[in-house]
Amino acid sequence: MHLNPYGDYAVRLAASLANDWPDDRAGIVARTRAFGMTMDFPTAPDDHPRTGQVVEDWLAVVDADDPRRRATILNAQMAAVTAYPRLTDHDGEGWHLHYRDDGQALPEVLAAVISVGTALHLTTRGMHRLRRCAAGDSPGDPCSAVVVDVTRNGRQRYCSVRCANRAAVRRHRARTRARG
């Protein structure tokens, strides 16, 4: 799997898993394929729940909106799950870097890929470019989707047009109420 200079694919894969959690292991693997990962992993019976825990841990990074706090959590995760970087060439991908040992199980691979990818994304694009959908900031709004901001201006706050519109309607109503 590639860790491109911006870490985009890995952080977007993590958000996809968080926002739409697969029902089983095959669903997780299919998602890694959809985001460009090519490697086969040894199968363990608890891959599905353990990968769920990896995503759960990653959400602590998403929810830490102070940059220093965010960095501290992410540094601890990378310290726990990554190894020294090494050059590798497998499955016809061409030479690229892995930040983990060979022969690891699916949850361990994803923990390494997601933590390093997120670190690359935040340091190249900006520490604030990861958040929950701003629609969910309003009391009673059900959206808690993760937003990975890869926009040019770095101001994406909503997961979807639908959520942005819902929030705009709420702001309009609040203004109308305020005017009486």
User: Of 29, 54, 55, 159, which one interacts with Zn ion (CB under 5 A)?
Assistant: 159
Q: How far is the CB of 126 from Zn ion (least distance, A)?
A: 20
Cβ of 39: how many Cβ atoms within 10 Å? 16
- When the beta carbons of 21 and 76 are compared against Zn ion, the nearer one is 21
Q: How far is the CB of 179 from Zn ion (least distance, A)?
A: 28
User: Of 54, 114, 130, 145, which one interacts with Zn ion (CB under 5 A)?
Assistant: 145
Determine the interface stretch with Zn ion among 5-13, 22-30, 101-109, 141-149 (rule: CB under 5 A): 141-149
User: Of 61, 114, 143, 146, which one interacts with Zn ion (CB under 5 A)?
Assistant: 143
Question: Whose CA is closest to 118, among 157, 66, 75, 85?
Answer: 75
Question: Whose CA is closest to 31, among 18, 17, 10, 45?
Answer: 17
Element (H, E) at 130: strand 130-132
Determine the interface stretch with Zn ion among 50-58, 74-82, 100-108, 144-152 (rule: CB under 5 A): 144-152
Q: How far is the CB of 14 from Zn ion (least distance, A)?
A: 17
- Cα 82-10-141 angle, rounded to 5 deg: 115
**Does residue 11 belong to the site contacting Zn ion (CB under 5 A)?**
no
Task: Calculate Rg over the CA atoms of the chain.
Answer: 18
Q: In which residue are the tokens 């983990």 written?
A: 100
- When the beta carbons of 39 and 76 are compared against Zn ion, the nearer one is 39
CA distances from 93 to 42, 64, 177 (A): 19, 34, 57
The three-state secondary structure class of 11 is helix
Q: How far is the CB of 137 from Zn ion (least distance, A)?
A: 10
Q: Are strands 146-148 and 96-98 parallel, antiparallel or unpaired?
A: unpaired
Q: Which of residues 76-135 bind Zn ion (CB under 5 A)?
A: 133, 135
**Does residue 18 belong to the site contacting Zn ion (CB under 5 A)?**
no
**Does residue 163 belong to the site contacting Zn ion (CB under 5 A)?**
yes
Tokens for 142?
Answer: 């059900």
- Where along the sequence are the contacts to Zn ion (CB under 5 A)? 1, 133, 135, 143, 145, 159, 163
